[in-house]
Each structure stands twice: as structure tokens, then as C-alpha cells.
């Protein structure tokens, strides 16, 4: 059930001897009313779509006084995110307002000259050519985490979402900050961000009533406490790093030492805090949710899981899998690709039109909200065969058509850490799958999106040893 005026959609999940259709909300049969739209969006951003939305295309409608444009056709996506990026560069006010209290003016929600100044610094710090430098923290943290799993009593129940967040938070901390999180810090950050997602207003009614910048989000005491905890952790690790003379190579050390060739200026302390918070939250949350969904999918597709184990055993034999093996793990990568197709970590990209424009035959008003929606695009029946089924093999033969698969976005604002995140996801999945079989307990799985796409209430699992 939902709140007054809103009925939560029924979840569809089907399986057979050789197929698995993972959990997704049943499409609506009629357009939502205004009340259903508002309440539905505040519950989950993926739950209100109609059947016709699950095909590539463009559309325009209004919510109150604001034009909403859906640009979910490959040519329209190319226009919005690449060729006319200057018009549609700015993130939508609801997401900016929701996140500004957490990441300040971080790269994810900044735009204009500030974004142009910081993007090269962050992109250089996480460039794919630097991945080898992060092999050691990825491997060592995952190996330590596997030992903690191995020490658990047989049949112990875990929350895969929380565990994967703890794993990726520690990886990003050692890579970004070059040090371990203090005792309890990872748990505090994970719990804080979960509380924040559960309670933050990601709709921002002021924007839809006509305020082009939306309303500043006023948080309740629980969210304020969660944000304060997140800030304390980030501030402490930034201060520790600035006070350290260790000389360790880390993402943060690169940001501290990197000079902008044009402006000859280093990032200030507040800018370092904002970018560190952005890297930390985006870097651990998106990979954690991807790994969580991958465990769910593999557990319900035994043929895919068996092929994963066969590949890992063939590549590594009796030795532990490692960073150098990642290029050989084609099936493992296909599993991660397919996981992000079905459950893109950020299922909706919102942009704000800086001026009037035209997308296809749609006249776009200045300040309109323009949506590119991977959740719908990745399940579009005209772009994908059997779009609702888990089929990793679709990524082995050919890469998807351009602008039909965009889990990291595309264009100038493509995720700066895409290569880091993809490598991390493949390596973590392989290292843990080499030693463990992860089994959901059978609790209902409900995908829900406030900011990122998570299983509602986490994913309770039990662990079985392989080796």
C-alpha cells in the first residue's frame, strides 16, 4: 500500500528452468493523476511509468506549472547529453536541491565555469590509465572483507546492500584518501546515507509550482543528523590527509597537488571537501548497489552463476583471483553490464533547459525539466530482445547500439569514475564469487529509487562456502 491517494504497484518476478525475470514494478495502465504523480515520485521514481513508456521515444507533459520533456530515444539522448549539452548541461533543480546539503558544489551537481574548472582535475585523478595504481587497495580490501565473511558462522544472515556498501566504502577510502576509515566510520556513513535517501525530498514541489531554482530543502532532525555525520567523516579524513606527510599516491593526493594549467590554482579546502564527498558517496554507493543486484540476479539464474564460477576457476585455478585477471573475465563483466542494464544505479538523469530549444518535434520551454531515463531506455522493447529478462550473454557478441545503454551517462558529463567503478565491480564480484555463494533468504525484493536504485529494506542473504 502507499499513502493517501497512491497505490504502490504490484511487483512482477518470474522464473523458469532457463529464464529469470527479476523484480520490477508492474506498469500502469492509465496516466497517473497529479496526486498519484507527486506521492508516487516521493515513494519511488521508477514506479509510476505506463506500459507505453517502455519503448524508446520522446514525450512532453506538465506537472503543475512546469513542462516535463522525456528524451528517451537514442538520437534525442545524443542531442541532450552530447551535441546540445551546453543547453542541457545543468542538473534538474530537484536533484541539485536534494544533494547540495551533502556534497556542496561537488562535480556531480555543479555546472558552468565551476564544473569546467574542476572536471579536468577530478577526471585526471580517476583516469583509466591510472587504474593500476588502485589495484592494491581494491585487492587488499576485498581480500580482507572475504576473510570477515569466512569468519561468520555457517548460515549467518547478512544484508548484502550494507555489506557491499561497507566493502566499496573502504575501497574508495583507501583509494581516495590513502588510508583506512576509522573504526565505525564506514558504518556511520552507510547508515547516514541510507537515512538520507529514505527521508530526503527528491521531488521539490517549489520547482513544479514555477520557481526555476526550486525551494531549499528543509530536512527533519534525523536527516540533519545523518548529513552532519557524513560531513564529520569526510572532514576528518580530508584533515588527516592534509596533515599527513605520508606521500601515498591516492586520488585525494592528486587533487591536492594537481594544478590547473590554465588558472594555476589548487583546489581550496572547501572544494576538496566537496569533491571528496562526491567521490566518496558516488564512488561507493553506485558500485555497492550494482554488486547487490548482481548477487540477487545470479542467485536466481543458476546457469549464469555456474558459468561465472567456471570462468573464475578456469582463469585463476587454485590461486586467488586478482586485478591482473580482470581483462580475462568476460562473463563476469557481462554479468555486471547486464546488472546495470536492468538496475542502473542512477535510473533517471534530469536536466534543466537553459533556454528554449527543440527536441525532435517537441518545443522545449526555457527552464523545462528534460529527463533521460535509463530505467526505461534499458528495458525498451524496440531496442532490446526480451528486455525484462536477465541475459548476460547479450553483452558478449556485440556492444549495444549507441545511446541505448548509458549506465554511466554519456557526453561531457559522463561519469568521471566509470572505468574505476566498472573494474572495481568486476574484481569484487569475482574475488567474492571465487569463495562464496550468496543466497537471498526469500524476502520480497522491491526495487525502489529515491536517488539511487536499491532493493527496499536491503537484500537479506545467507553465505555458503565454495572453497
Encode 219-261 in three state secondary structure: CCHHHHHHHHHHHHHHHHHHHHHHHCCCCCCCHHHHHHHCCCC
Q: Cβ distance 146 to 431 under 8 Å?
A: yes
**Distance (Å, rounded) from C-alpha 149 to C-alpha 436?**
9
Closest CA to 256 of 279, 276, 233, 281: 276
Closest CA to 426 of 335, 318, 296, 340: 335
449 marked as binding residue: no
**Distance (Å, rounded) from C-alpha 287 to C-alpha 93?**
25
**Distance (Å, rounded) from C-alpha 186 to C-alpha 383?**
40
In angstroms, how far apart are the furthest CA atoms of the chain? 63
**Residues in CB range of 61: below 8 A, 6 or more apart:** 67, 68
**Residues in CB range of 77: below 8 A, 6 or more apart:** 71, 372, 377, 403, 406, 410
Q: Where are the beta strands (DSSP E) in 42-152?
A: 57-63, 66-72
Coil/strand/helix, residue 273: helix
Q: Enumerate the β-bridge partners of residue 272.
A: none
**Distance (Å, rounded) from C-alpha 349 to C-alpha 230?**
24
- For residue 196, what is the enclosing H or E element? helix 185-199
Size (the chain), residues: 467
How far is CA 93 from each of CA 35, 206, 367, rounded to the nearest angstrom?
A: 20, 10, 10
Q: Tell the burial category of 86 from Cβ atoms under 10 Å away from its Cβ (0-12, 13-18, 19+).
A: exposed
Coil/strand/helix, residue 80: helix
Q: Cβ distance 368 to 63 under 8 Å?
A: no
* Phi/psi at 460 (5° precision): -65, 130
Coil/strand/helix, residue 464: strand
CB atoms within 10 A of CB 306: 11
Q: Could you give the dihedral angle defined by the CA atoms of residues 92, 93, 94 and 97, in that order, rounded to the nearest 10 degrees?
A: 130
Binding site listing = 415
Binding site listing for heme = 415
Amino acid at each position: 500500500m502507499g499513502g493517501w491517494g497512491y497505490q504502490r504497484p504490484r511487483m512482477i518476478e518470474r522464473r523458469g528452468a532457463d529464464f529469470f525475470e527479476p523484480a520490477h514494478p508492474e506498469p500502469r495502465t492509465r496516466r497517473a493523476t497529479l496526486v498519484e504523480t507527486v506521492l508516487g515520485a516521493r515513494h519511488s521514481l521508477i514506479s509510476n511509468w505506463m506500459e507505453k513508456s517502455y519503448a524508446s521515444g520522446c514525450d512532453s507533459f506538465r506537472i503543475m506549472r512546469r513542462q516535463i520533456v522525456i528524451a528517451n530515444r537514442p538520437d534525442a539522448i545524443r542531442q541532450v547529453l552530447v551535441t546540445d549539452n551546453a543547453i542541457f548541461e545543468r542538473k534538474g533543480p530537484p536533484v541539485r536541491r536534494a544533494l547540495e546539503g551533502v556534497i556542496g558544489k561537488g562535480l556531480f551537481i555543479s555546472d558552468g565555469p565551476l564544473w569546467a574548472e574542476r572536471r579536468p582535475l577530478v577526471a585526471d585523478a580517476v583516469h583509466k590509465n591510472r587504474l593500476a595504481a588502485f589495484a592494491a587497495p581494491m585487492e587488499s580490501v576485498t581480500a580482507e572483507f572475504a576473510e570477515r565473511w569466512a569468519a561468520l558462522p555457517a548460515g549467518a544472515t547478512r544484508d548484502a546492500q550494507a555489506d557491499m556498501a561497507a566493502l566499496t566504502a573502504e575501497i574508495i577510502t583507501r583509494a581516495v584518501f590513502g588510508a583506512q576509515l576509522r573504526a565505525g566510520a564506514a558504518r556511520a556513513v552507510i547508515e547516514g546515507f541510507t537515512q538520507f535517501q529514505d527521508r530526503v525530498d527528491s521531488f521539490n514541489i517549489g520547482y513544479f509550482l514555477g520557481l526555476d531554482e526550486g525551494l531549499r530543502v528543509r530536512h527533519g532532525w534525523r536527516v540533519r543528523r545523518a548529513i552532519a555525520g557524513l560531513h564529520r567523516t569526510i572532514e576528518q579524513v580530508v584533515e588527516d590527509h592534509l596533515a599527513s606527510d605520508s606521500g601515498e599516491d591516492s586520488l585525494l593526493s592528486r587533487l591536492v597537488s594537481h594544478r590547473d594549467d590554465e588558472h594555476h590554482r589548487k583546489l581550496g579546502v572547501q572544494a576538496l571537501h566537496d569533491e571528496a564527498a562526491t567521490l566518496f558517496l558516488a564512488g561507493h554507493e553506485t558500485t555497492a548497489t550494482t554488486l547487490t543486484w548482481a548477487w540477487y540476479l545470479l542467485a536466481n539464474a543458476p546457469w549464469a552463476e555456474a558459468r561465472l564460477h567456471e570462468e573464475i576457476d578456469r582463469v585463476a585455478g587454485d590461486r586467488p583471483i586478482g586485478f591482473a585477471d580482470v581483462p580475462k573475465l568476460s562473463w563476469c563483466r557481462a554479468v555486471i553490464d547486464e546488472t546495470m542494464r536492468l538496475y542502473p544505479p542512477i535510473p533517471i538523469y534530469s536536466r534543466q533547459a537553459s533556454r528554449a530549444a527543440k527536441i525532435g518535434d517537441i518545443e522545449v520551454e526555457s527552464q523545462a525539466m528534460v529527463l533521460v531515463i535509463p530505467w526505461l531506455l534499458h528495458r525498451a522493447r524496440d531496442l532490446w530482445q526480451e528486455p525484462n529478462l536477465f541475459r548476460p550473454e547479450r553483452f558478449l557478441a556485440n556492444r549495444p547500439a549507441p545511446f541505448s545503454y548509458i549506465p554511466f551517462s554519456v557526453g561531457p558529463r559522463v561519469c568521471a569514475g566509470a572505468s574505476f567503478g566498472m573494474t572495481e565491480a568486476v574484481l569484487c564480484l569475482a574475488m567474492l564469487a571465487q569463495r562464496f555463494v550468496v543466497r537471498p533468504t526469500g524476502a520480497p525484493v522491491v526495487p525502489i529509487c529515491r536517488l539511487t536504485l536499491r532493493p527496499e529494506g536491503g537484500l537479506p542473504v545467507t553465505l555458503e562456502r565454495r572453497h
